[in-house]
Amino acid sequence: MIWVVAVLSILLVLLIWILFTPITICIDTLSSEYYINAKGICKVSLNTTKTPIAIDINIPMKKFSFSPLEKKKKTQKKTQNKNKTRTRSKSIKGIAKFIAALIQSFELIKLRFNVDTQDYALNAQLVPIFQFLSGKNRSFSTNFNGNTTFQLTLRNRLIRMVKPVIQVVINK
């Protein structure tokens, strides 16, 4: 009986740890970093230094890498049964609400956008707009030296994404 309680408590602790682990999404064109990181669980990154582009998956004590752009050997398709049961299609409005709720669950950590439009007059007109849009954790700016960079860092936890999923399941 003690073993069952011990195993269940360990599973409960692991579940709580996974639900509350921060998930970070980073898009950074300045340093060419593109990744999704769940601290201590896994990290999926886009490796742009290799040709063709590779996706690296790091889990504790193991690393996988594959290229989605490589051609794979063609395999013969099996004949499929044409008498498929139809699944209930979701309305576009319901899907849009789900995606909006999922996006709202993310916390903006950093947003930096630096642009050069190659037009001095347009850059000068964008300065007051970008000053208005800039805030505590977001920065918009123009430059006159030809650099365009975008940095975005978002953070979320699985527990905050559960609410929109439950709402979709209940409203089926």
- Helices assigned H by DSSP within the chain: 2-20, 92-104, 120-133, 158-170
Task: Look at residue 72 and tell me whether its pLDDT is greater than 80.
Answer: no
pLDDT in tens, 78-114: 555 555 555 555 678 878 888 888 889 999 999 999 9
Mean pLDDT of 117-126: 89
Contact status, residue 111 vs residue 155, Cβ threshold 8 Å:
no
**Vertex 152, ends 43 and 109: CA angle to 5°?**
85
Banded pLDDT at 144 (limits 50, 70, 90): confident
**pTM across the whole model:** 0.76
- Got the DSSP string for 32-57? TEEEEEETTTEEEEEE-SSSS-EEEE
Amino acid letter, 126: L
Task: Look at residue 151 and tell me whether its pLDDT is greater than 90.
Answer: yes
**So what's the pLDDT on residue 132?**
93
**So what's the pLDDT on residue 139?**
94
pLDDT in tens, 1-51: 888 899 999 999 988 988 899 999 999 998 989 999 998 889 999 988 877
Q: What are phi and psi of 168, to 5 degrees?
A: -70, -40
